[in-house]
Amino acid sequence: MSQTLEDQALALAGLFQAAALVRQIAHEGQCDDASFETSIRSLFETDPDTTLDVFGGQLGNLQLGLDTLSAIMAQRNRPEDAEILRYTLGLVQLEGQLRKRTDMLEVIGSRIDQARHTANHFGYHHGNLMANLASVYSDTLSTFRQRIQVTGNPAVLQREENAARIRALLLAGIRSAVLWRQCGGRRWRLLFQRRKLIDLASNLAKQAR
């Protein structure tokens, strides 16, 4: 996997996109369908030629993630940003714990592969697929002591289909966190390359429109 700063920015955009979608669903019970499908599809892109191929090969598929990444890194202080950043950092920390558990990685990979048939048969929005992916997250990543606490509208969060979609998106966020590390991403680089990353994400976001 290529390890350029652009590859790292694309992987981070995937991560921020999943986190932004989690927030949308948690508060509103709905989210952007195209962005959602890109995030879920990324779970099944296990042998990509390029980083962008994980997200369907089109920059436009990462529009939400690129816009969110550039806004948060530039500290524009939108009301939703603190929540999205909390989810993003939590996913990066979870990926760090998961990296030490090769047994759990194998289980996750195997069960996602099993869910591929459901995705191919029903599509990437179907409740059966969401239930499958949510159970993968619950049975593995949710067992770590450090968990991601999703906040939002209690009435929305209590609906089982919303909880399943959120867990599926958190799993997709882990996929992007793994990809970011494979591309050479490290937390310290977010500090020392922040300006370059902001400019790059902004330019990519413009290209995506």
Q: Is residue 48 within 8 Å of 54, Cβ to Cβ?
A: yes
| pTM over the 0.85 mark | yes
Task: Report CA 9 to chain centroid distance, whole Å.
Answer: 13
CB atoms within 10 A of CB 110: 11
pLDDT confidence bin for 86, thresholds 50/70/90:
very high
**Residue-number span of the structural domain to which 65 is assigned:** 5-208
Our count of domains for the chain comes to: 1
pLDDT in tens, 25-54: 999 999 999 999 999 999 999 999 999 999
Q: Work out the average pLDDT over 101-118.
A: 96
Structure confidence at residue 1 (pLDDT)? 67
Q: Work out the average pLDDT over 192-197.
A: 88
Q: Is the pLDDT of residue 151 over 70?
A: yes
Q: Work out the average pLDDT over 66-94.
A: 93
For residues 178 and 115, what is the distance between their CA atoms, to the nearest angstrom? 19
Write the DSSP assignment of 24-71 as a string of letters.
HHHHHS---HHHHHHHHHHTT--S-SSTGGGGTT-GGGGHHHHHHHHH
Which CATH number is 110's domain given? 1.10.3890.10
* Angle at the Cα of 171 from the Cα atoms of 45 and 150, rounded to 5 degrees: 150
For residues 18 and 8, what is the distance between their CA atoms, to the nearest angstrom? 16
CB atoms within 10 A of CB 192: 10
